Every structure is written in C-alpha cells, then in structure tokens.
C-alpha cells in the first residue's frame, strides 16, 4: 500500500480499515485468545478490483503476522486468498486446513 493508504485496526468496531478515494474497505474480525477470525470482507464497488483486494488482504496479513496471531478465515474471499497464496498457510492454527 502507498503511504497515503494507511491500514487502521479499529479495535472498537473490530475491523481493519483502509481508505482509498473517499471509500472505506473493511475486513471485520473477532479476536479470541491468540487467533483472529477474519469474518467479512467489504470493499465498495468503486474501488473493488482483484489487485486492490489482494493488496488489502496482504497488508492485513502482514499486520497480523507482526502481532504473532493465527488466522482463521471464515470469509470465503479470504479463504480463497490463502489458497492462492500458500506462503500464508503457516499462519493457520493447528488443525485448520484450506
């Protein structure tokens, strides 16, 4: 992401936010113990491209990795992202397969 596009972890609303062109892209989550459940991906139609979606999810995964959390993708789009990007499979908790 470019410098003007800053990822925000909104703890209060339990969502990652990224603003682009006055539009807000969101990944909702639920945090339990050392696992983060990524439950919903919302990208406004005006900025919804596969490239933007992949960069947004990648940026969120980098943030999660820095916090040393395991990822449980309950959103179909995020599960699909992990299938295509095998390097993130190591972030899945033991017993979770995609």
Q: Is residue 42 classed exposed, middle or buried when 0-12, 13-18 and 19+ CB atoms within 10 A define those classes?
A: middle
Residue 98 has pLDDT above 90, yes or no: no
For residues 48 and 13, what is the distance between their CA atoms, to the nearest angstrom? Answer: 22
Average pLDDT over residues 7-15: 96
Q: What is the CATH number of the domain that holds 16?
A: 3.40.630.30
Task: Tokens for 11, please give them.
Answer: 């703890």
Query: Does 24 reside within a domain?
Result: yes
The pTM is what?
0.90
Q: What is the pLDDT of residues 41-54, one digit of tens each?
A: 999 999 989 999 99
The domain containing residue 78 runs over which residues? 8-91
pLDDT tens sequence across 25-82: 999 999 999 999 999 999 999 998 999 999 999 999 999 999 999 999 999 999 999 9
Asked whether residue 96 is domain-assigned, the answer is no
pLDDT of residue 80: 95
CA distance 87 to 33: 23
How many domains are there within the chain?
1
């Amino acid at each position: 992401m470019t410098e003007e596009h800053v990822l925000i972890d909104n703890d209060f609303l339990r969502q990652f936010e990224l603003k682009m062109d006055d539009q807000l892209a969101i990944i909702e989550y639920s945090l339990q113990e050392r696992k983060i459940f990524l439950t919903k991906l919302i990208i406004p139609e005006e900025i919804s491209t596969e490239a933007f979606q992949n960069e947004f999810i990648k940026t969120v995964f980098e943030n999660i990795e820095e916090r040393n959390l395991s990822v449980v993708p309950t959103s179909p789009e995020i599960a699909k992202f992990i299938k295509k990007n095998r390097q993130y499979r190591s972030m899945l908790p033991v017993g979770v397969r995609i």
